Amino acid sequence: MFSIVINTILFILIFVIITITMSNWERNNPIVYRYVIQSGKLNKAHSFVYISDLHEKEFGENNEKLIEMIDELNPEFIIIGGDLIRCRKVSDSEKYKDKDKIDVSLKLLNDLKSKYKVYFSYGNHELRLMDKAGFNDCNETSKYDKYIQDISLERVTRLKQALEGIKVLDDETVSFSDFDLTGFTLPLDYYRPLFMRTKEMLTEEDISLHISKPDKDKFNIILLHTPMYYKEMIDYGADLVLSGHYHGGTVRLPGLGALMTPQYQFFVKECAGEFKYKTGKLIATRGLGTHSINIRINDRPEISFITIEP
């Protein structure tokens, strides 16, 4: 009996060591995933890099490894799908603890925009930082202590400075010759934890308050930080939805897929990869970093290299 207990403990220890080692290696070794999307609406091919959910992660000093990998792909432009920064929720028990970080993200933005045309849409972490600072018509500013408000305001100011020279698609569309690129800024209410709860409804009327109906004659790409509502976007007129947020599910189990999303959903299929729905498609990146749960198992950080072509 004693030997069984000892062997069980040893097995658990070995398993934990292997898991931590594997996770540490994966978190520091991004991989390029290539996608090719074809459409009769397109007149020529366009290739671009899509990244999301950095959360202040560094791959080499000043993200040199990440930038080198992007340079090797030689993209026409870069799309960033939000959550570059790390902005945590504030609880009463930790009201005065400052856990937010933005400096790594600001450096990356400045480096990328010096080389490429960059398009950016907000994720929930950028929205939360602006919420803390009193932006976005925030009506709950009183829930944050002035200490948090002042720090957040200074960081929002620096973030917006870094975004100068970058096209920020905050419920906006930029038109190319044969496709449109739209950033849909989903309000923070849609990012609430969903354990024992159903998701918020997103109707066509809700969407129309943010963005206009896509032009049916052009190929339409819509940036939507969470893939939770990609079907609603395709029903609205998107040909391709680009999302992130789920971090690939953190742990990917063979045969079962993603373990858990940041909103406490389990075994969600659309956490990573390409998915077809009706006449449109979703590409959900695994993202680059982590935040609350600092592990990745069978879920390496992703640089998406996407080609859209006739």
Whole-number pLDDT of residue 257: 77
Whole-number pLDDT of residue 86: 94
Alpha helices (runs of H) in the chain, residue ranges in sequence order: 2-27, 64-73, 103-113, 124-132, 146-162, 204-208, 230-236
Whole-number pLDDT of residue 85: 96
The residue type at 202 = L
Distance (Å, whole) CA 54 – CA 5:
42
Average pLDDT over residues 268-276: 93
Average pLDDT over residues 169-191: 95
Tokens read off for 157: 């100011």
Whole-number pLDDT of residue 1: 66
Whole-number pLDDT of residue 2: 63
Distance (Å, whole) CA 205 – CA 185:
15
- Residues near 55 by beta carbon (within 8 Å), at least 6 away in sequence: 83, 84, 85, 86, 125, 287, 288, 289, 290, 291
Q: Is the pLDDT of residue 177 over 50?
A: yes
Whole-number pLDDT of residue 33: 98
Segments forming the whole domain that contains residue 113: 2-309
Q: Is the pLDDT of residue 96 over 70?
A: no
For 309, the 3-state DSSP assignment is strand
State the CATH number of the domain containing residue 189: 3.60.21.10
Average pLDDT over residues 24-43: 95
Whole-number pLDDT of residue 4: 77
Whole-number pLDDT of residue 141: 46
Tokens read off for 48: 């671009």
More confident residue, 172 or 265: 172
Residue 119 phi, psi (nearest 5): -115, 135
Share of the chain above pLDDT 90, in %: 66
Average pLDDT over residues 11-25: 79
pLDDT digits (tens, 9 = 90+) for 122-172: 999 999 999 888 775 544 544 567 778 888 899 999 999 999 999 999 999
Answer for the pair 88, 82: CB distance below 8 angstroms, yes or no: no
Whole-number pLDDT of residue 92: 60
Average pLDDT over residues 261-273: 87
Average pLDDT score, the chain: 90
Q: Is the pLDDT of residue 204 over 90?
A: yes
pLDDT digits (tens, 9 = 90+) for 207-249: 999 999 999 999 999 999 999 999 999 999 999 999 999 999 8
- The count of structural domains within the chain is 1
Cα–Cα distance list, 155 to 3, 60, 126, 201 (Å): 56, 24, 10, 32
Share of the chain above pLDDT 70, in %: 93
Core vs surface per residue 239-276: b (16+ CB within 10 A) or e: bbbbbbbbbbbbbbeeeebbbbbbbebeebebbbbbbe
